[in-house]
Structure 1
Amino acid sequence: MTYLPAPRAKRTSPWLFVAIAALALAGWQWFETRQRLVDVQQQVSQKLAEFDTGNKEDRGAQKLSREQIDALQARLGAVDGKIAEFQAQSTTLQALYQDIARSREELALIEVEQAIVLAGQQLQLAGNVPVAVLALQTADAQLARLDRPAHLPLRKALAKDLARLNALPFVDMPGISLRLEQVLVGVDKLPLGSYGRPEKKAENEMAAESKNWWQRTGGAVWQEMKGLVRIQRFDREDVALLAPGQGYLLRENLKLRLLNARLALFSRDQSTYRNELKVAQDMLTRHFEANDKAVQTAQTTLRQMTTSEINVELPTLNDSQAALRSLRPGKEKR
Structure 2
Amino acid sequence: MSSLPPSPAPEPLPALAPTAAAPGAFALRRSALRGVLLVLGLLAGAGLLSSVMLWQRLSSIQEQLARQSADSGANAIEARALARQAQEIARDAAARQSVLEARLSEVALQRTQLEDLIQSLSRSRDENLLVDIDSALRLAQQQTQLTGSAEPLLAELRMSEQRLARAAQPRMARVRASIARDIERIRSTSVTDVPALLARLDEVVRQVDDLPVANAVPARAISEPVRKTSAQGGVWWERARDTLLEEARGLVRVSRIDQPDAVLLAPEQATFLRENLKLKLLNVRLSLLARQTDTARADLTAAIAALNKYFDPASRRTQAVATQLQQVQAQVRSVEVPRVNDTLAAIATLSAGK
Instruction: Answer whether TM exceeds 0.5 for this pair.
Output: no
Bigger Rg, structure 1 or 2: 1
Please, what TM-score do these two structures have when normalized by structure 2? 0.39
Please, what TM-score do these two structures have when normalized by structure 1? 0.41
